[in-house]
Amino acid sequence: MTTLEAQLQQKNAQLAAIREISRAIAEAQDLNDTLDLITRRTTEVMHVESCSIYLYNPTHDKLVLAATTGLNKSGIGEFYLPHGAGLTGWAAEHRQVVAVTNAFQDVRFYRILGSGESKFPSLMAMPLVSRDRVIGAANVQTEARHDFSEDEIELFRFITELAATALEKAQLVHAAVVREMHHRVKNNLQTIAMLLRLQMDQEKKLAPHDILNETINRVLSIATVHEILSEAGVDKAGALDLIRRMSNTISNNMLNPAANITITVSGDNIELPSQRATSLALVANELLQNALEHGMAGRTEGAITIKLTGDKGRLRLTVADDGRGLPENFEMNAHLGLGLEIVRTSVVEDMGGTFQLGPNPRGVGTLAQITLPR
Ligand SMILES: Nc1ncnc2c1ncn2[C@@H]1O[C@H](COP(=O)(O)OP(=O)(O)OP(=O)(O)O)[C@@H](O)[C@H]1O
Ligand SMILES: [Mg+2]
């Protein structure tokens, strides 16, 4: 290979790394993934043995190791540089590049015990500045003594400028996600408290065992939403997946294995924001429990069909059973138990939808219908 070809190949590799780091900026979701990607790609493209990123912790005014390819990884989140300490701390404090062939002989050198740094004599450090704020510093280190060239300094400067933006964005996303999680946990605990309170006010006296069983099913429906959210990693859950899993949980909990009762779930997997998905799961849970508890009471055979459909404007959920049907002269308001109260409150009051419960037009059993604006 000619020198020119070699140089071209190197430039191509550098461009690819820069492109990848730019993409990370656009897609920055998870802080750790972003850190990991930047340090790995920088190590490769700069032909160094280590790339580390320290993030500034304003509470303790220090730079904390956040990612590294060459240092002792167990020090991530632990190793730190006090304000201005070390060559990397100096780079952050002075907002300037530092490039030295023998770091150990530099008066600014600061040893982090156990970091594994002693095998890297040469070091280049850059501040990470985003929107005129120092958010941290990054360095690269080599095992063999190395004079960093102007070219290398320019490349590293370019990468760290991109990285600073990516990291700031990922940090912001991270903070927002954590806040959202707390908010969601709080909402769910309130929902559970509300369910328990409603249950306490019930006139109907159930055996403690039954009360607990119902409550367990309600809590499990909420858990199902979070199970799906944790897998998807987003704030949206597919409503059909949700209902399907909820119905699996319920049937495992409530169905007598000897009975031949089938539960079919079909329709469109409509994406819903987490709050709405939680409400819908609770509602579907109540309707399914009723179909099993009342419709199928004392039966060994039966079919329950759950359907979810949606068009632009509305979402429609139906739960049909071919069971023994509603009690004679059933009137929703007069016979409202806790279950239907939950359905009515969430659907009509909270989500502005409609709820109907009546005889199944197919002749036997009961049909519950819900529509929700989207
Ligand atoms: N699918 C159904 N088939 C037959 N009867 C039903 C059906 N769904 C509801 N019902 C009737 O409506 C009543 C009220 O239901 P609701 O869910 O509000 O209370 P519950 O199921 O009795 O108690 P909870 O849900 O609080 O444990 C039920 O007791 C039952 O008589
Ligand atoms: Mg019920």
**Per-residue pLDDT reduced to its tens digit, 295-327:** 998 898 999 999 999 988 899 999 999 999 999
For the ranges 37-41, 114-118, 133-137, the lowest mean pLDDT is seen at: 37-41
Local confidence band at 338 (pLDDT 50, 70, 90 cut-offs): confident
- For ligand 1, mutation pick of 290, 296, 335, 356 (most atoms within 8 Å of CB): 290
Residue 304 CB less than 6 A away from ligand 1: no
Beta-bridge partner residues of 359: 366
Q: How far is the CA of 371 from the centre of ligand 1 (A)?
A: 20
pLDDT of residue 235: 65
pLDDT at 357 over 60: yes
Phi (first) and psi of residue 174, to 5 degrees: -55, -50
Ligand sitting nearest the alpha carbon of 297: 1
For the ranges 87-96, 242-251, 350-359, the lowest mean pLDDT is seen at: 242-251
pLDDT of residue 232: 60
Question: Mean pLDDT across the chain, nearest whole number?
Answer: 87
Ligand sitting nearest the alpha carbon of 213: 1
Ligand 1 nearest atom to the CA of residue 323, by list position: 3
Q: How far is the CA of 287 from the centre of ligand 2 (A)?
A: 7
Residue 321 CB less than 6 A away from ligand 1: yes
Classified as helix, coil or strand, 55 is strand
Q: How far is the CA of 146 from the centre of ligand 2 (A)?
A: 74
Residue 288: Cβ within 10 Å count? 27
Ligand sitting nearest the alpha carbon of 320: 1
Q: How far is the CA of 332 from the centre of ligand 1 (A)?
A: 10
pLDDT at 147 over 70: yes
For the ranges 120-124, 174-178, 204-208, the lowest mean pLDDT is seen at: 174-178
Classified as helix, coil or strand, 332 is coil
pLDDT at 180 over 70: no
pLDDT digit string, tens, across residues 62-71: 999 999 999 9
The helix-helix angle for 208-232 and 239-254 (nearest 10°) equals 150
d(CA 176, CA 242): 25
> What mean pLDDT comes out for the span 192-208?
76
Q: Which CATH class is domain 202-373?
A: alpha beta
Q: Where are the domains of the chain?
A: 3-173, 202-373
More confident residue, 282 or 42: 42
Q: Which CATH class is domain 3-173?
A: alpha beta
pLDDT at 143 over 90: yes
pLDDT digit string, tens, across residues 72-129: 999 999 999 999 999 999 999 999 999 999 999 999 999 999 999 999 999 999 999 9
Residue 98 CB less than 6 A away from ligand 1: no
Within this chain, domains 3-173 and 202-373 share the same CATH topology: no
For the sheet containing 98-100, what is the strand order?
80-82, 62-68, 50-57, 133-142, 122-130, 98-100
Place of tokens 């009137």: 331
- For ligand 1, mutation pick of 206, 210, 214, 294 (most atoms within 8 Å of CB): 294
Local confidence band at 288 (pLDDT 50, 70, 90 cut-offs): very high
pLDDT at 234 over 70: no
Ligand sitting nearest the alpha carbon of 342: 1
Residue 214 CB less than 6 A away from ligand 1: yes
- Identify the DSSP state of 187: H
Residue 327 CB less than 6 A away from ligand 1: yes
pLDDT of residue 77: 95
Residue 296 CB less than 6 A away from ligand 1: no
pLDDT of residue 25: 65
pLDDT at 194 over 70: yes
pLDDT of residue 250: 80
pLDDT at 181 over 80: no
pLDDT at 233 over 60: no
For the ranges 21-30, 34-43, 57-66, 360-369, the lowest mean pLDDT is seen at: 21-30
